[in-house]
Structure 1
Amino acid sequence: MTTLTHDPARTAPTGPARNHWIPRLGGPVWLVWRQHRAAFWTLIAAMLLGVLVMVYLRGQTMDFLAAQDPTSRKSGGLPPEFETYVNRLHSIGSYLSYIPVLAGVLLGAPLIAGDLETGTAKLVTSQSVSRLRWLITKLAVPAAMLALSTGVLTAVLTWWWNPLKGLSDALIWTSFFSVTGVVPVAYALLTFTVGVAVGLLLRRTLVSMVVTLGIVVAIGFVWDELWRSLGHIMSVSTDKGVGPGAVRPELPVQAEQQGQGTYFLTGSGDRLDWTTCLDQVENDRAHTACLESKHVIGWSMDYIPVSQMQTMQWLGAGIMLAVAAAVATFVILWGRKRLL
């Protein structure tokens, strides 16, 4: 009969107990985190600092509004001191607008270019890790960190701005279109992938950063020129004439006027430029006769309402993410064949 004995040397722990429920990084993910941990911790620190600052400033703003007469908030009669809080909101929004630039130049451009320049890429891909897996991990980990930090910051900014909409002309929605909602996240991911692609092609860190800066600035210019075209332009008009005492059309609250200004509306529904009959404006009778000869019956104005803001943001973000996905696909396909 065999007697079973207990061997404490085989069952006793040799070190401190480990919490196996804590996720542990390994393989390419651990390598990417290790390589860029300074940038990642900087992102996390900047996110936390930004959140704390915005929460504090929002609290001050809401305390100020709570101390005001409720009727003054509805009528737009807030004291001049309110502009101080408006300026703070604009300042934070302008700081966050630089996230896409930093994402492309400081995070995207050096990501692969640095590894190619130092030989790290050759060392990694000579191991058991495939190029495809390394490239996907190299893109995914920083992109996830960037999306998380940008999303949190813009969510807090949106939370700060939402209760203030309509309280000041300086808080019109078009001023915050690109720094609230889903747009900043998609914008940052786009410039990040563009920076990675530039670094992969040029293979030199400093040169890639400079070229990426130029491309990101160009992207910003194009975006500023085109994002309003994502909305559906609406019109408001009058048909009571344009002479003395005639009331011009009034835009809905928080709507942004589009086009050149106020147009003349004819009886047939056509619109004439506001410069029509301008050469006779000094003579009231001649000016009136000129407009009557063109059958002008009132004014017309184009605008985009604030109700379209979220739809436009999602549409713009979708376009940016589609382009970012295409650039990321190019990076992976190009890198698999010509990485070294």
Structure 2
Amino acid sequence: MSNLTKTSATRSNGSTASPMATRGRRLSGLNWLIWRQHRAGFWTLLAITAICVAWLVYQRTELINQLTAQGWPDSTPDKWLNGEHPQQFQFVGWSLGFIPIVLGVFLGAPLLAGDLENGTAKLVASQSVTPIRWLATKLGISALVVIVCTAALSVAFGRWWGPVKYVPTALEWSDGAAFDNTGPVPVALALFTVVGGVAIGMLLRRTLISMVVTFAFAVVVQLVWSYFRLDLGHVLTVTTRKGISHGAFPQIPQNALEIDHWYISGSGQTYGWGTCVAHKLSEKVCIQKFDLVGWKVDYLPMSQMSSMQWFGASILFALTAAVTVFIFIRGRKRIV
């Protein structure tokens, strides 16, 4: 391994060019070795990403043409989309949500588990390259490929959804199909899942079992993330004291996500919106019995989407950094 860079090239006039002059900016040494070892997976990811980005760009062009034909952006939003596009947004967003799982299972889990299982790690330990440098190169190149792929897909999907992001029928901003596939979230989710898979592979040292455990880990990460996603925002509240009739219900900002709503009494006490039905009371009797004077509504405005994404991504980046530190500590003590 230490002799990887000892190459030379001969020019047509018989003189010998230096290795640096021949290689230019090409990968060399350990970087070249790691890339060559995993080149099939890396090139596959890059090629699939390029195809997906090209398709998303095409879809955005088609969407803009349709919107323009409907008078966008001057016409009313209810005329912008037909029934086909909302379904496409949902399906594509749902499909992109599997990317962190796929990357964790097929890139993260085998990255070290394969070398530990087939003995490559022992060969590395016998060379002049230190285990820490080997780990850093493996993780660095893999992380770079993951960042490039997920960031490109995030930008492409965001630009496709962007012209109609304020149309609720297109895609709810708080839904995972939109929230988890735009901004920094897809990059953060993918990195955390991949690095988690690498750590699992290092501990289990067997490729197949590492992939199975990483799949379970990635699914749990997705479930926990979806459960706490809305907790990343700051819930706002609006109250009214104009009665509980339908016309007295408070107005919240356009595209805001309603979290919950209650009746409010004259004393400020809240009652669930199903109180009257639960007690089998007519509206008039219910108002008198509980002294209902208005509504209380909790909601999240769409303006918080970006800050929620960055806050959530920063948590995932911190967890990724913690797992990475564990990998290096473990690798320095016991890599073979």
The offset of 1:288, in angstroms, is 2.5
Q: Which residue of 2 aligns with 1:60?
A: 62
Q: Distance in 1 between the 2:154 and 2:77 partners?
A: 29
Q: Does 1:177 find its partner at 2:176?
A: no
The TM-score, its normalising length taken from structure 2, stands at 0.90
Which shifted more, 195-204 or 329-338?
329-338
The offset of 1:10, in angstroms, is 10
Letter in 2 for 1:195: G
The offset of 1:21, in angstroms, is 8.1
Contact 2:276 2:282 (C-alpha < 8 Å) held by counterparts: no
The offset of 1:297, in angstroms, is 1.5
1:292-316 Cα offsets, whole Å, 9 max, x none, are 2xxx210111110000000000000
Q: Distance in 1 between the 2:231 and 2:11 partners?
A: 71
Q: Distance in 2 between the 1:75 and 1:192 partners?
A: 40
Letter in 2 for 1:190: F
The offset of 1:31, in angstroms, is 1.2
Q: Distance in 2 between the 1:15 and 1:42 partners?
A: 36
Alignment of 1:77-96 (within 5 A): 77-78=79-80, 82-96=82-96
1:157-209 Cα offsets, whole Å, 9 max, x none, are 11111111123424221120011110000100000000000000000000000
Q: Which residue of 1 aligns with 2:205?
A: 203
Q: Which residue of 1 aligns with 2:32?
A: 30
Alignment of 1:172-321 (within 5 A): 172-175=172-175, 176-243=178-245, 246-259=247-260, 262-292=261-291, 296-321=292-317
Q: Which residue of 1 aligns with 2:101?
A: 101
Q: Distance in 2 between the 1:211 and 1:267 partners?
A: 55
Letter in 2 for 1:93: G
Letter in 2 for 1:291: F
1:251-293 Cα offsets, whole Å, 9 max, x none, are 211111113xx2012334332222334344443442232122x
The offset of 1:47, in angstroms, is 1.1
Identity %: 41
Q: Which residue of 2 aligns with 1:3?
A: none
Q: Which residue of 2 aligns with 1:5?
A: none
Letter in 2 for 1:297: V
Q: Paired residues, what number?
A: 324
Letter in 2 for 1:197: A
Unaligned segments of structure 2, at least 5 residues:
1-9
Alignment of 1:65-80 (within 5 A): 65-70=67-72, 73-78=75-80
The offset of 1:72, in angstroms, is 7.5
Letter in 1 for 2:219: V
Q: Which residue of 2 aligns with 1:335?
A: 331
Unaligned segments of structure 1, at least 5 residues:
1-8
Q: Distance in 1 between the 2:205 and 2:169 partners?
A: 47
Q: Which residue of 1 aligns with 2:150?
A: 150
Letter in 2 for 1:182: P
Contact 1:72 1:78 (C-alpha < 8 Å) held by counterparts: no
The TM-score, its normalising length taken from structure 1, stands at 0.89
Q: Distance in 2 between the 1:10 and 1:105 partners?
A: 46
1:128-175 Cα offsets, whole Å, 9 max, x none, are 100110011111110111111110111111111111112342422112
The offset of 1:319, in angstroms, is 0.3
Q: Distance in 2 between the 1:29 and 1:39 partners?
A: 15
Instruction: State the structure with more CA Rg.
Output: 1
The offset of 1:19, in angstroms, is 6.5
